[in-house]
C-alpha cells in the first residue's frame, strides 16, 4: 500500500486511533480522502474533493464513493461538516472527541477551528431545559478573517 505523502505520520496514527475507537477500519481510500482534506486545510465541498482526488489519482472516481468516505470521516470525528458552507474540513483537534466552533471567512473561505467547552456546555444546558438532548454541536460563525479584514481596510 502506498501511503499518501501529504498526511504527516502523527496525523495518520491519530486517524487510525480514532477509527479503532469507533470500531471502524481506515482503508487506503479513506486515508486518501482524509489526506486530501487535511492538505487543503480549508473547507472543501464534496464535489471539489472528488475533483481533487481524481486529479491526484489520475482516474475517474464514483461520486458516491467520495460521499461515503466523507460520511465515514465525519462519523468518526476526523472531519467536520460545515452546513453553512456546504463543505467539509479536517478537524484541527482530532486527538479527542469534541464540539467544534468554527470561524468561517465569507470572503476567502478559510476556516479556523476553536474549542470552547464553556460555550458547548451553555448550549447543551439550554437544549436540555427544553427537553432536547443534543448530540453534536458544530457552531459556525461567519465573517471576515484577519487577512481579508485588513485587505478591506486598506
Ligand atoms: Zn474538530
Ligand atoms: Zn478571509
Q: Give pLDDT tens digits for 85-141.
A: 889 999 988 888 788 889 999 999 889 999 888 888 898 899 999 999 887 788 899
Ligand nearest to the CA of 96: 1
pTM: 0.83
CA of 139 to the centre of ligand 2 (A): 18
Residues with C-beta atoms within 5 A of ion ligand 2: 105, 107-108, 110, 145, 148
CA of 72 to the centre of ligand 1 (A): 15
Residues 29/87, Cβ–Cβ less than 8 Å: no
**What CATH architecture applies to the domain 1-92?**
Orthogonal Bundle (1.10)
CATH 1.10.10.10 residue spans of the chain: 1-92
Rounded distance between C-alpha atoms, residue 110 and residue 90, angstroms = 12
**φ, ψ at 147 (rounded to 5°):** -60, -45
CATH 3.30.1490.190 residue spans of the chain: 98-154
How far, in Å, are 37, 55, 101, 114, 136 from residue 139 at the CA level? 20, 32, 5, 10, 10
Q: Give pLDDT tens digits for 20-78.
A: 998 999 999 999 999 999 999 889 999 999 999 999 989 999 999 999 999 999 999 89
Ligand nearest to the CA of 120: 1
* 83 has a pLDDT exceeding 90: no
Residues 70/49, Cβ–Cβ less than 8 Å: yes
- Looking at CATH, the fold of the domain delimited by 98-154 is given as Dna Ligase; domain 1 (3.30.1490)
CA of 130 to the centre of ligand 1 (A): 26
Cα–Cα nearest to 10, from 44, 40, 38: 38
Rounded distance between C-alpha atoms, residue 9 and residue 40, angstroms = 17
Ligand nearest to the CA of 114: 1
* 1 has a pLDDT exceeding 50: no
Amino acid at each position: 500500500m502506498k501511503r499518501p505523502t501529504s498526511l504527516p505520520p502523527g496525523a495518520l496514527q491519530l486517524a487510525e486511533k480514532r477509527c479503532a475507537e469507533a470500531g471502524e477500519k481506515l482503508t487506503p481510500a479513506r486515508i486518501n480522502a482524509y489526506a486530501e482534506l487535511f492538505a487543503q486545510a480549508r473547507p472543501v465541498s464534496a464535489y471539489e474533493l472528488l475533483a481533487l482526488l481524481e486529479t491526484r489519482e489520475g482516474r475517474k472516481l464514483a461520486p458516491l464513493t467520495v460521499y461515503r468516505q466523507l460520511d465515514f470521516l465525519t462519523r468518526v470525528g476526523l472531519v467536520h461538516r460545515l452546513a453553512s458552507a456546504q463543505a467539509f474540513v479536517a478537524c484541527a483537534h482530532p486527538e479527542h472527541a469534541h464540539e467544534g466552533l468554527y470561524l468561517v471567512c465569507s470572503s476567502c473561505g478559510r476556516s479556523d477551528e476553536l474549542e470552547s467547552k464553556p460555550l458547548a456546555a451553555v448550549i447543551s444546558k439550554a437544549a436540555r431545559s427544553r427537553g432536547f438532548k443534543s448530540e453534536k454541536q458544530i457552531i459556525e460563525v461567519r465573517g471576515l478573517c484577519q487577512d481579508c479584514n485588513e485587505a478591506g481596510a486598506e
